[in-house]
Amino acid sequence: MFMKVDVPLIRFLRGQGGSMQKQIEGETGVKIIFKSSKKATSVVIEGNDVESVTKASEKITTVLEEAVKSPKLDYSHFVSLPLAIHPALVQKLHHFQNSILGNSSSSLNDDVDMDLHEDTSVETGDDDKQAGSSSAAVKFEVEDKMEHVRVKIDTVDYSQGSKNSTLSDLGIERSIFISPKTFHLTVLMLKLWNKDRIAAASEVLQSISSKVKDALDNRPISIRLKGLTCMRGSPAKARVVYAPVIEVGGEGRLLRACQVIIDAFVESGLVLDKDAHHTLKLHATLMNVRHRKRSKRTGRNDFFDARHIFRVYGSEDWGEYHIPVVHLSQRFKFDESGYYHCCSSIPLPEDMQTE
């Protein structure tokens, strides 16, 4: 009996050291044979009778269903609102990173506001696992209720060692910064482990193009990025630092458009049950310990001290930016621009103004 098993799921069927394969074979008396090709999408179940083969196939199906729900199977795609298309913003992000890492004339000891409004450029990736549902509410920071974070800290003293070693002591290194070339807002995370699911997701996005525009009243939509916030934790023990998103005009049009997208994907069955009830909060991630190099990770206790960063950038106005398109983006794969590979996209109403 042949049984389809998509490549990303094969390791779950094998199990560590072949443990899962051996368990199923021992319980059912069959032999599970994997294709030798790395592109194989099926296995062969050999047994002495139909009953044993059927029992084995049911167990395999259960294993694969659990694998899909497992956090060990990472999200492969996401619906994104690209921000890296704005050169001015990319430049600001480059300056932000370089001023902290020491690749510019700016210093962590500077008490003056850094000028982030001059032209510059950047690189990185972000994957905060935020998802939405048909009943989820999309939250935004409201401008008139915005609270600026003020943090009092001691001045960093580099006299006892190099600046790099001091940054290391703070848990700060280049790998935890989001690449400016991939800067975006995440609407929905997806696990699309085969071509059929990718094609289905692309079709869903294309099918709601007019509905998304209607939700925006067929008018251009812009957002403003202002300040810094920690996602859980505190600046002293930060894991994710992001810039809150404010919809320019405050009409809730972007909220409605995101909800249209979320509802359509939930209804299509492409969103996992555990993700279908998450509340989406649009945010622009700047730093995330999940991107730290593996050799330097410290597990659940991994964090960095961002108090000096909040002192300098806690009230930063990053600017206003038009959102012209929605992408179905593929993680870990990039286009020529450096942004995530686009599997499908829909245009949003154009902004007549130019940067």
pLDDT tens, residue order, the chain (355 aa):
989 899 899 999 999 999 999 999 999 999 999 876 666 678 999 999 999 999 999 999 999 999 998 989 999 999 999 999 999 999 999 999 999 998 643 334 333 333 322 222 223 334 444 333 333 444 454 444 444 443 333 444 433 334 444 898 899 999 999 999 999 999 999 999 999 999 999 999 999 999 999 999 999 999 999 999 999 889 999 999 999 999 999 999 999 999 999 999 999 999 988 888 888 889 999 999 998 987 766 666 799 999 999 999 999 999 999 999 999 999 999 999 999 999 999 999 996 544 4
Query: Which fold would CATH assign to domain 77-347?
Result: Cyclic Phosphodiesterase; Chain: A, (3.90.1140)
Return the pLDDT at 299. Answer: 64
Q: Where in the chain is the domain with CATH 3.90.1140.10?
A: 77-347
Torsion on CA atoms 334, 335, 338, 339, rounded to nearest 10: -80
Which one-letter DSSP state was computed for residue 189?
Answer: E
Q: Are 176 and 241 in contact (CB under 8 A)?
A: no
Q: Quick one: CA torsion of 95, 100, 104, 108, rounded to 10 degrees?
A: 120
pLDDT, position 120: 26
- Please state the pTM of the whole predicted model: 0.78
Q: Which amino acid is at 315?
A: S
The pLDDT value recorded for residue 297 is 65
- The DSSP result for 274-289, as a single string, is TTTTPPPB-EEEEEEG
Q: What is the location of CATH 3.30.1370.10 in the chain? A: 2-69
Relative to beta strand 222-226, strand 77-82 is: unpaired
Q: CA neighbours within 13 Å on the CB side: how many for 57?
A: 16
CB atoms within 10 A of CB 352: 7
- Say how far apart CA 134 and CA 261 lie, in whole Å: 9
Q: Identify the pLDDT of residue 279.
A: 85
Predicted pLDDT at 131: 35
Whole-number Å distance between alpha carbons of 337 and 184:
14
CATH ID of 2-69, from 3.40.50.12280, 3.40.190.10, 3.40.50.620, 3.30.1370.10: 3.30.1370.10
> What pLDDT was estimated at residue 121?
26
Q: Which two tokens stand for residue 83?
A: 């921000």
Residue 285 burial by Cβ neighbours in a 10 Å radius (0-12, 13-18, 19+): buried
Residue 174 Ramachandran class (φ > 0 left, ψ -120 to 50 alpha, else beta):
alpha
Q: What is the pLDDT of residues 225-273, one digit of tens each?
A: 999 999 988 999 999 999 999 999 999 999 999 999 999 999 999 998 8
Give the pairing type, strands 325-334 and 317-322.
unpaired
160-199 burial string, b = 16+ CB within 10 Å, else e? Answer: eeeeeebbeebbbbbebbbbbbbbbbbbbbbbbbeeebbe
Distance from C-alpha of 113 to C-alpha of 156, rounded to nearest angstrom: 17
